[in-house]
Chain A
């Protein structure tokens, strides 16, 4: 009897792992195809799509595609640009959006309802549809920097950063999380004479690790994958990000091996970033997701 249950248990385990692994296969096979193909010469890459060899590192395997890809485009420059723009935007976004969220949840001010409605409404404006008016605008905006007052933001990093710092979804995520924080903590701090800034910085933010991780990952993905906007605002190679760089590889005769190598290279930083934040991320969604 005991043996049967044990066998039963083992069988169920095997079934479970099999199901999990089969599903995992569905999610990962295009990525394996990408990685494996990046090591193959073009003719073999294309011929291999006819069989399982598409997923196996067999045949004429080499790093040639990577070498050629680096010759074709300044890949590190593009990655540096993307990571810089992404990192700065994510940091500023976390700061400004959490402050706004804090204000919407804990503070009581005139116009709050209207402001929050506007923020929710912006969620339904796809970026593609406002890009041109925005271009006309940023080309005339002033800036005070090292060279003093200048007009026009084109061909800079800031034009890729500033417009994307604040967004409705990030603010919304923070408000949802803050609503669940124990209110007594805040009230106690206020009674003890803390300023609102101190409440925000010393009490609320330290408790917000999970939501910060969530918002960071979502923002990271959006920013790292910017494409339409950089094409419009960066006329100089020195400011171009990775997805604009991808176009360097689509010539009349596309070298698919190089494309795969490039795709692999630009996907790696995101994967790494995600794996690092994964634990915090899943824990954080666990506490933000529940409030619809």
Chain B
């Protein structure tokens, strides 16, 4: 332990020396890169490697990495932007990108678009017809369960071609509930606040036929967030908690992590980043199931963290070069192997450990390719997402469905009006 502590001190002083530019052997221009992975050693190792490789591979640029804890990453970037202190390269959560692009934090990404033609759609950040950001992975959500759980309860195992229908899904939950073996048949993960809500649950709304805003104009939520389809979704959503099918808002984070493995839950709605753990826990018995078709086709959320170039950098070419460099198959496969993320291209999937054909997680690649829907591509998403989260939390707690959705639509519309239409 003592040596580790020493290493700790040495490392931190080393880093600070580097950032002060005291160690600067080459005549390279410094490029600062902000990344959301502080406190995540696995991720840090890969990104460090990419930065080191890039710096030694060419002689023009020297990328310096600064990591932030994810929880406050967006706050840090916004504060820095307000203070005129943005880095050259920064990573951005896919759905937030239009907000930052609109606000003038990001500039279009100068990468040849034919070179990224085969990237999964969720990894490419377009706003107003221009590419602004590019992801080294995508993420997908699936229902995770055990084969034995379903077969013992005599429930059909759904497939990509034939997912559960709404009736089938509800019936499956009821059957599992009646077995009495589980605290809850389904774990939606309401313990995770924030972006998880719109990311994981707005696809349910879309599968019912509603949406957060009307995507034809992006000027209103009226009729899509509070129309008949949305109200049907809201009532179904409320039923899940009233019937005790899923733990509600006060689920504790620890149960979210261990509940499925401990057998408290039968099915868990969770991201592919947990797939590795589940694979370890259940082995061959694990199942990654596609989202149910709630009427309007099965849907899941798309887009994860992506890299972009700040509007203020004088070195946009160097920044774009770095991003291009990072999108090598080996790096994208490395993220995938270490954290279970989805490689963004078929070639990178082919060299990855878990997404090769025939591997259990290959499902996620197909899910992402076939069912993924981007969250509304608008600068107003940031506010709409918060409104949506609160509406869903309130409905889960028993609030009147129609009133809650009406109020949410009003609030989103008000915000769009006050922002003069968000530049659409």
Contact = CB atoms under 8 A, between A and B. Distances in A.
Interface of A: 43, 46, 63, 66-67, 70-77, 132, 135-136, 138-139, 152, 154-155, 231-233, 235-238, 244, 247-254, 256
B66 interface: yes
B40 A135 contact: no
Interface of B: 1, 4-5, 8-9, 11-12, 15-16, 19, 34, 38-41, 66-72, 75-76, 79-80, 82-85, 87, 192, 253-254, 257-258, 271, 273-274, 277
A71 B274 CA distance: 22
B82 A136 contact: yes
Contacts of B258: 43, 46
Contact of A253 (B11, B12, B34, B257): B257
Nearest to A46: B254
A71 B42 CA distance: 11
8 contacts: A74-B11, A232-B79, A233-B79, A235-B80, A236-B66, A244-B72, A247-B69, A256-B254
A63 B1 contact: yes
B72 A77 contact: no
Contacts, number: 105
B422 to A, nearest CB: 21
B80 A74 contact: no
Q: Which 3 residue pairs of A and B lie closest in terms of their CB atoms, listed nearest first?
A: A248-B39, A139-B83, A247-B69
Instruction: Provide the main secondary structure of the chain B interface.
Output: helix
Contact of B274 (A46, A136, A244, A253): A253
A235 B39 contact: no
Contacts of A136: 82-83
A31 to B, nearest CB: 20
A139 B8 contact: no
Main secondary structure of the interface of A (DSSP, over half): helix
A43 B66 CA distance: 33
Contacts of A43: 258
Contacts of B253: 254
Contacts of A235: 34, 66, 68, 76, 80, 85, 87
Contacts of B84: 139, 152
Nearest to A235: B80
Contact of A254 (B9, B75, B257): B257
B83 A247 contact: no
Contacts of A253: 257, 274, 277
A153 to B, nearest CB: 9
A163 to B, nearest CB: 14
A63 B38 CA distance: 23
B193 to A, nearest CB: 11
Contacts of B277: 253
A275 B422 CA distance: 55
A155 B85 CA distance: 10
Contact of B83 (A63, A154, A237): A154
Contacts of B82: 132, 135-136, 139
Given A236-B66, A238-B12, A73 B39 contact: yes
A67 B1 contact: yes
Given A63-B1, A70-B5, A235-B76, A250 B85 contact: no
B39 A231 contact: no
B254 A231 contact: no
Contacts of A250: 39, 69, 71
A136 B68 CA distance: 21
Most buried by A among B1, B39, B67, B76: B39
Given A71-B41, A132-B82, A77 B9 contact: yes
A70 B5 CA distance: 7
A139 B85 contact: yes
Given A231-B76, A238-B15, A251 B70 contact: yes
B283 to A, nearest CB: 19
Contacts of A247: 38-39, 69-72
